[in-house]
Amino acid sequence: MTDELVNVLSKPETYEFNTLFGLVYDNLKLKNAVSGGEEMLRLRSYEKLQNLVSRGLCAKVGKTYRGLEGLRAAHNAAIAARSAAVVARTTAAAAAR
Protein backbone atom coordinates (compact mmCIF):
# COMPACT_ATOMS: atom_id res chain seq x y z
CA MET A 1 0.00 0.00 0.00
CA THR A 2 2.71 2.47 0.96
CA ASP A 3 4.63 1.48 -2.17
CA GLU A 4 1.68 2.47 -4.34
CA LEU A 5 1.23 5.74 -2.48
CA VAL A 6 4.90 6.52 -3.07
CA ASN A 7 4.61 5.55 -6.75
CA VAL A 8 1.70 7.90 -7.30
CA LEU A 9 3.09 10.73 -5.16
CA SER A 10 6.46 10.56 -6.93
CA LYS A 11 4.87 12.24 -9.91
CA PRO A 12 5.08 16.05 -9.85
CA GLU A 13 1.35 16.51 -9.34
CA THR A 14 -0.95 17.51 -6.51
CA TYR A 15 -3.86 15.26 -5.57
CA GLU A 16 -6.94 15.45 -3.42
CA PHE A 17 -7.27 12.37 -1.26
CA ASN A 18 -10.15 10.82 -3.20
CA THR A 19 -8.27 11.14 -6.48
CA LEU A 20 -5.09 9.82 -4.90
CA PHE A 21 -6.91 6.87 -3.37
CA GLY A 22 -8.58 6.11 -6.71
CA LEU A 23 -5.20 5.89 -8.43
CA VAL A 24 -3.71 3.76 -5.65
CA TYR A 25 -6.74 1.46 -5.58
CA ASP A 26 -6.67 1.00 -9.36
CA ASN A 27 -2.94 0.17 -9.24
CA LEU A 28 -3.53 -2.37 -6.48
CA LYS A 29 -6.40 -3.95 -8.41
CA LEU A 30 -4.15 -4.34 -11.45
CA LYS A 31 -1.67 -6.24 -9.28
CA ASN A 32 -4.43 -8.32 -7.64
CA ALA A 33 -3.26 -6.91 -4.32
CA VAL A 34 -6.66 -5.72 -3.11
CA SER A 35 -7.76 -7.55 0.00
CA GLY A 36 -10.48 -6.55 2.38
CA GLY A 37 -13.11 -3.97 1.63
CA GLU A 38 -12.55 -0.75 -0.23
CA GLU A 39 -13.46 1.29 2.83
CA MET A 40 -10.81 -0.47 4.94
CA LEU A 41 -8.22 0.19 2.22
CA ARG A 42 -9.29 3.83 2.17
CA LEU A 43 -8.70 4.11 5.92
CA ARG A 44 -5.32 2.38 5.72
CA SER A 45 -4.31 4.60 2.80
CA TYR A 46 -5.24 7.71 4.73
CA GLU A 47 -3.25 6.55 7.75
CA LYS A 48 -0.19 5.78 5.63
CA LEU A 49 -0.53 9.11 3.84
CA GLN A 50 -0.62 10.94 7.17
CA ASN A 51 2.52 9.05 8.22
CA LEU A 52 4.27 10.29 5.07
CA VAL A 53 3.14 13.83 5.89
CA SER A 54 4.36 13.58 9.49
CA ARG A 55 7.74 12.26 8.31
CA GLY A 56 8.09 15.28 6.01
CA LEU A 57 8.01 13.25 2.80
CA CYS A 58 4.69 14.56 1.56
CA ALA A 59 3.20 18.05 1.73
CA LYS A 60 -0.41 18.67 2.68
CA VAL A 61 -1.89 21.99 1.63
CA GLY A 62 -5.55 22.27 2.50
CA LYS A 63 -7.03 19.04 1.21
CA THR A 64 -4.35 18.32 -1.38
CA TYR A 65 -1.21 16.21 -1.14
CA ARG A 66 2.05 16.37 -3.04
CA GLY A 67 5.11 14.17 -2.76
CA LEU A 68 8.29 16.02 -1.88
CA GLU A 69 11.80 15.68 -3.22
CA GLY A 70 13.45 12.53 -1.91
CA LEU A 71 10.20 10.68 -1.22
CA ARG A 72 11.19 7.59 -3.19
CA ALA A 73 14.76 7.55 -1.83
CA ALA A 74 13.55 7.83 1.77
CA HIS A 75 10.98 5.09 1.21
CA ASN A 76 13.59 2.79 -0.33
CA ALA A 77 15.94 3.49 2.59
CA ALA A 78 13.18 2.59 5.06
CA ILE A 79 12.53 -0.68 3.23
CA ALA A 80 16.25 -1.50 3.23
CA ALA A 81 16.50 -0.77 6.95
CA ARG A 82 13.54 -3.04 7.73
CA SER A 83 15.04 -5.80 5.59
CA ALA A 84 18.40 -5.45 7.34
CA ALA A 85 16.69 -5.66 10.73
CA VAL A 86 14.89 -8.86 9.73
CA VAL A 87 18.14 -10.40 8.50
CA ALA A 88 19.91 -9.40 11.72
CA ARG A 89 17.16 -10.95 13.88
CA THR A 90 17.17 -14.13 11.81
CA THR A 91 20.94 -14.40 12.02
CA ALA A 92 20.90 -13.78 15.77
CA ALA A 93 18.18 -16.39 16.27
CA ALA A 94 20.12 -18.93 14.21
CA ALA A 95 23.31 -18.23 16.15
CA ALA A 96 21.48 -18.68 19.46
CA ARG A 97 20.48 -22.22 18.56
CATH number at residue 24: 1.10.10.10
What does the pLDDT profile of the chain (97 residues) look like in tens digits? 788 999 999 999 999 999 999 999 999 989 888 877 889 999 999 999 999 999 999 999 999 999 998 888 888 888 888 889 888 888 888 888 8
Give residue 17's domain range.
Answer: 2-96
Please report the pLDDT score of residue 8 as a whole number: 93
Please report the pLDDT score of residue 70 as a whole number: 87
Please report the pLDDT score of residue 78 as a whole number: 84
Whole-angstrom distance, CA of residue 51 vs CA of residue 78 = 13
Q: Side chain identity at 3, as an amino acid letter?
A: D
Domain count, the chain: 1
Please report the pLDDT score of residue 72 as a whole number: 85
Whole-angstrom distance, CA of residue 20 vs CA of residue 73 = 20
58: helix, strand or coil: strand
Indicate yes or no: pTM above 0.85. Answer: no
Please report the pLDDT score of residue 36 as a whole number: 75
